[in-house]
Structure 1
Amino acid sequence: KALSNYRSNLDLKLNQLIDKRNSLTERLTETAIKEQEIIPLIREHKVKEELYLMLLSKEQENALAMAVTESNARVLEAAHGPNLPISPKTIKYVAGGTAGGALLSILAFMGVAMLNNKVNNKHDLPSVNRQPVIAELPQMSKKESRNTKLFIQDEHSVIAECFHILRNNVDSMLPRPEQGGHVILVTSTLPGEGKTFTSANLAAAFAYAGKKVLLIDGDLRKSSLTRRLGGSGRKGLTSILLRQNPDTAGVIRPVGEDTRGMDVLYTGPTVPNPVTLLSHPLLGQILSILKKQYDAVIIDAPPYGILADTAILASLSDITLYTVRSGKIDKRYLTQIQQLADQGKLPNMAYIINGVNFKSASYSYYGYGYGYQYGYGAKDPQQTARKRD
């Protein structure tokens, strides 16, 4: 029994020694792994140390060489100035930069204004011009442009009042025949200057004044007025000229119920030779007949600067209203227009400047009796009445 106990103790010590050996083996393995990781770092450290020693040696050699070599530089004059630190003068620099920027902006605006050769208002007409500016139509706001298809809906707006003034000025320029009306031609230099809009609303202004008005779409190529009034495909001016009969029965139509006293003559079917068709003597006979039936015959003509159709229509007109959109036509071109007027190709001509920005043109604001200003919209009448009270 004693031997058995002694043997058990020895086995227990043997197991402890085996565990200790395994633990030492694991620690030796971990040490070997760490040594493998440290060896590259030691090598890198040695390389850096050798480089540092080499650079230090070079620096000492250069310092020794510079100390031995005599310098060629010499001080001619000692520097002047305080030895204290200098702080930037922020306020002074900001004020100077602001003043310089403002001056550059003013010079830039002046340069742009000097280089701008466009007609923006009646003051921009060249000195050679002798034709009157019969009206300046204000620039419409984006809201008004969206709400206005062709005719101005609000009769009390400022732009509607401008058309009434235009109608009165046109009426004062027209000759006074013993009987019959007049032919009024509306044209422009380029498309998009508002001649169709001007023709339609001028006709509406005449109708609003109790006149009997006929609106003719004389642009046989583009037919903007016909298209905007929904008359595409209907009989019109070309129908009368093609059948060689001055009878206008069944061709002239009323514009609508809201525009009493105003009729319209559409362009009619498309023709391949508008100039030849307009050159027929029948056109003059038709206009003579229409002048006896209407107080005012307003022709929406094509742009004069592009097509020859307008020259034919102008020769049969009593007055020519030349529409110029603000900021679109070069001032130098108006000299050619003046020459055409002097030659009689644009009889009794007057300018209409469309889309004038009265604020930028330094125009003063003024009212029209109902509290309206150049906002192109009417105020509430009840609100205006309360303010007056």
Structure 2
Amino acid sequence: MSSGVGLPGAAHLMLADGVVHLDPETAVFEAMLEGWARQQRARFLDWDGTIKPRLALIRRFADFTNEYPWQWQPAEVDAFMNSLRDRRPTFAASTGRSYQNALRMFCCYVTDARYGWPVKCFESFGQAPVQILHEWNTIGHSSEYEGDSERRPLTYDEVQALFDAADGRVEDIRARRRKGALAAMRDAVLLKTVYAYGLRRQEAVRLDLHDLRRNPKAPSYGRFGAIFIRYGKSSKGGPPKRRTVFTVPEFDWVVELLDHYIEEIRPLASPGKHPALWITERLSRISMRRLDEAFETARTMAGLPEELNLHCLRHSYVTHLIEFDYPERFVQDQVGHEYASTTAIYSGVSDEYRNRLVQRSLKSRYSDLWGTSS
């Protein structure tokens, strides 16, 4: 099969005919990487989140092997993965699989005859690239969840301790008459909003004032009846997914908090016409890193385990909605999961809730007996 004419990333488009390179091996390798990047961009994949990390991994693997792609062999994959695990004992299987998938996709690209790299490499170096990742040297996907088992939903007491610590930080800064009280107040409300709506980091920091929505079925919540998410997690090659998250009665305490923040706290930063809901002291949108830091600070002050991270608040939201007896489909739509199985992975209901389910089932099945015993 001949190489594809005009195919993004094809070898004849990346390397000009008749040009003599002082270092042909490096020139071909760099052309491969640029060609693969173009091929991925043609599929509308995200540069920062997908393409750039993949290219960095290929360079890292090439540095480890000290060889070029047309010289790679399967044994080098084994050595690379073993070195990663030796350096980091907690190296997750899911991370290892993502590395292997990226290497496999790169090998698929450079071994595909339509892109012309096998012929180019054989003509130039007497060797052609081969696929070095197969079923027998890659991680099998035997479990739906492979994350850190210690990361879990927070209990109600832990959520309260976290929020108390965030509020306490405001009072501590004020008592010391130090700068930062305004940012601390913002962070406290932001953390509570993340929990009250089960938000991801990007969804939270990208909120604008006009994303606050009224819910005609809950007029008492005013403009805080729902929030419109415009930057939900996207599928590969697709735009950010959108959804509306309703304010539920169990979390309606967030209505008063948001109203106070918008009317009393946010104006103190003199935001002008800036649309962002969460404004920094420099009149910019708060970053995801700053949001992580706000959680970590509150977590430390509350004395909570270090393995808990901001995303655990989202797990907590899912779990607590289920414990409040909301239907699984409602919970799935609230958090923007495509599959119900993903929502199930997020939940970690308490023993108390499961005991209530058992008692409810017993009452339903043995109503007569249950009534006489009580």
Q: TM-score, normalised by structure 2?
A: 0.24
Q: Larger C-alpha radius of gyration, 1 or 2?
A: 1
Greater strand content: 1
Q: TM-score, normalised by structure 1?
A: 0.24
